[in-house]
Structure formats: structure tokens, C-alpha cells
Amino acid sequence: MPHQIINVGLIGLGRIGKMHAKNICEKLPLLNLKSIADPKPDLEFIQNLGEITVHENAQEIISNKHINVSKSTENYYDSLIRLVISQFISTSAAISITNKLLLSFDATVFKEEFFENLTYQQIHKLGLTKNKAKCIKDITYKFINDDFSQKITSLSVQEFNRYFLSIYGLGPWTLNMFKLFSLGDEDIFSSKDAALRRAMEESGMVTLGSDHKEYDLYAMKWKPFRSIASLHLWRSLD
């Protein structure tokens, strides 16, 4: 299956913005820089990058929908199980475990019935930690008996956050990733994500080993589109 080219827009063309623009154009072949928004853009710099539309304000990029943090899937159960598997391990390890589990079920997505009649001990024997096995068991119960998906739309943001975090083994990082990748929340940034911290350190935004609050504080300048910044930071590590 061919990789999808993602059209992106860049908001701000200061020192860091120029570094990101060059990274996108020179090092990230799956990203296509379509637009730049800056009140006083360096037109000569932009011209050297290629055919890029220039805007004076960020809203013009957003309204043109060059960047679209959309719902990647509405199979919330599958999405959540994959996030649980990926907790506290590398991306490559998470992919390997996920593929092995799906192969054992002869499936391409996770379904509630796979784990419904298994004990958490049996789930643990499939290659997951005991905590992750307990978490998957609790999630499965919530989807089957507590209409998890319906609560996404029926509860307020604060109520849903509390409900989500009440499930065994689900913490703030998993909540943020679920809201970003499954619900399409455009303003998600998690300083608990090691890859995001590393990308910010390598870009010179934050000093290595800084308190998590420093990463959160720096990311505030990207509101209300911190998800877009997060996606670009992850890409910069590829």
C-alpha cells in the first residue's frame, strides 16, 4: 500500500519556523509544505523552498484545510486497545505485539468478542503485562456493558475525561492520544510523551532534562492547534 502524502501548513517563520520548513522540504518526503502563515514573511527564503502559498494569518491556513487533524478511525475499541499495547514501550515493539495478537485472532482490527470471555490471566498469557491485560479486560467490559462509544458524545469534556481515567490502566497520556488520533481534537500536547520531548530538545526548543512544565509552557504558543505541532514533532524524528 503506497504512503499517503500529507499536505501541511506552517504557522510562523521565525528561526525555529525556518528550521521546520527546511526539515519538511528536505528530510520528510511524506510531508508536502503547501502554505506558510507569517505577518512579515521572508519571501526570498520561501521562494527557495518551492511553490508555497503565503498567508498573513494562521486562520487562512486552517480555513483552507491544508492541515486536517481528522478522526483516523471511528472504531474506538480497536484504537484504544492499540494505545494500551503501546504504553511504556517503543513504537517498533508495540507494532510487533499488535501484529502478533491480531494474527492469533486471524483479524486486522481488535473486536470486543476477542477478549470478552477471556480472563485477564489468559490475556496476560497472550504476551501482555498483567496491568495491560487488566486494562483491556476493563475496557472490553465498558464497551459491552457501559456503552463507552455513546459517552463520547453524551458527556461533557470534563465528564468524559473523568470517566475515561476511571478505567483501570488508563492515564493522561492515553487520554490525550485517544483524543488526538481517534476524536480529532486539534489542541492536544502531552509532555508525558518521550518522543515529543526528544523532538523539542533536538530542535533547541527546550533544554535536555528540563522539567515537564517547561515543555508544556513552550507548547502553549501553539494553542489552539497543539495537535498539529505534535504531529510535526513526531514526524521530525523519522
* pLDDT tens digits in sequence order for the chain, 238 residues long: 334 567 788 888 887 778 888 888 887 766 788 889 888 889 999 999 988 999 888 777 777 655 554 444 468 999 999 999 999 998 889 989 999 999 999 998 999 999 999 999 999 999 999 999 999 999 999 999 999 988 988 999 999 999 999 999 999 999 999 999 888 888 999 999 999 999 999 999 999 989 999 999 999 999 988 998 998 898 888 7
The residue range of the domain holding 143 is 76-181
71 inside domain:
no
CB 144 within 8 A of CB 137: no
Overall number of domains in the chain: 3
58 inside domain:
yes
The grid cell for 32 is: 508536502
CA 186 to the chain's CA centroid = 10
| 175 and 131 within one domain | yes
CB proximity list for 49: less than 8 A, separation 6 or greater? 21, 22, 25, 33
33 inside domain:
yes
148 inside domain:
yes
| 226 and 129 within one domain | no
| 56 and 85 within one domain | no
Predicted local confidence at residue 17, as pLDDT: 79
Predicted local confidence at residue 120, as pLDDT: 95
How far is 221 from 157, CA to CA, in rounded Å? 22
Q: 132 — phi, psi (to 5°)?
A: -70, -35
46 inside domain:
yes
| 139 and 111 within one domain | yes
CB proximity list for 184: less than 8 A, separation 6 or greater? 69, 70, 71, 72
| 141 and 56 within one domain | no
69 inside domain:
no
188 inside domain:
no
The grid cell for 92 is: 517498533
Q: Note the pTM of the prediction, 2 decimals.
A: 0.71
CB 30 within 8 A of CB 5: yes
How far is 25 from 7, CA to CA, in rounded Å? 11
Whichever domain contains 43, its CATH number is 3.40.50.720
122 inside domain:
yes
**Domain C-terminal end among 64, 93, 113:** 64
| 137 and 106 within one domain | yes
How far is 92 from 4, CA to CA, in rounded Å? 20
